[in-house]
Amino acid sequence: MADSISKLKREAKSCRACPLWASATQTVFGEGKANAKVMLIGEQPGNDEDLQGKPFVGPTGRLLDKALHEAGIDRQQLYVTNAVKHFKYQLRGKRRMHKTPAQSEIAACAQWLQGELAALHPKVVVCLGATAARALFGSEFRVSTMRGRFVPSAHAQFAYATLHPSALLRLRGDAEREQAFKQFVKDLQLIQKALAA
């Protein structure tokens, strides 16, 4: 497993299947335990991830770590990746601001995500946000109506979607943010339920 993930990672470094590689600092591949039973799939790397070459290391990653901790889940036991492996952004002044990947960019990266899923054979897959959910479950999938519900998947015995942690960071009110965070933790606790089944 570790060998096939390492091979995929090496191959993905030179991917030119879509234009995103040209402005990104580097390919940000998944990382985690080689025999992880749980895979978390996000949308794409953010600015910090693009610079460091690791998934979920910026503000969104810190929020995810906090939520995983509160849900009683050790991130070191997981494999964490993104549906798209290069950072898509637009410049606002000197800041690089996230821009949602196009369907063609998601499709171009599907080979890498499919490779990760095939190498790991996770028992549980959690899609964080709409881009990841559509990459795995199809374009008709809606996180707003299907959030926190196990859905059939050829890739794992248990699969479901929840919000991307970046959605919580965009909330303005403290009460709303706190409530959304609690629900996010509750969604992540489904991992424990699935692993125990």
For residue 2, what are the CA distances in angstroms to 5, 58, 120? Answer: 5, 25, 9
The pLDDT tens digits for 54-85 are 999 999 999 999 999 999 999 999 999 999 99
Residue pair 106/84 in contact by the 8 Å Cβ criterion: yes
Give the burial string for 155-174 (b: 16+ CB within 10 Å, else e).
bbebbbbbbbbbbbeeeeee
pLDDT for 85-122, tens place per residue? Answer: 999 999 999 999 999 999 999 999 999 999 999 999 99
Say if CB 8 and CB 127 are below 8 A apart. Answer: no
In which band, very low, low, confident or very high, does the pLDDT at 1 lie, cut at 50, 70 and 90? low
Instruction: Name the band, by pLDDT with cuts 50, 70 and 90, for residue 3.
Output: confident
- Is residue 155 helix, strand or coil? coil
> Per DSSP, which regions of the chain are E strands?
31-32, 38-42, 79-82, 89-92, 95-98, 124-128, 158-162
Main-chain dihedrals φ then ψ at residue 69, nearest 5 degrees: -60, -45
Q: What pTM, to 2 d.p., does this model score?
A: 0.95
Q: Which two tokens stand for residue 59?
A: 């503000």
The pLDDT of 177-196, averaged and rounded, is 97
How many domains does the chain divide into? Answer: 1
Write out the two tokens for 63.
Answer: 């929020």
Q: Can you give the residue range of the structural domain that contains 26?
A: 2-192
Is the residue at 197 inside a domain?
A: no
CA atoms within 13 A on the CB side of 173: 4
Q: pLDDT value at position 34?
A: 85
CATH code for position 6: 3.40.470.10
Give the containing element (helix H, strand E) for 165.
helix 165-169
Q: How far apart are CA 129 and CA 171, in angstroms?
A: 15
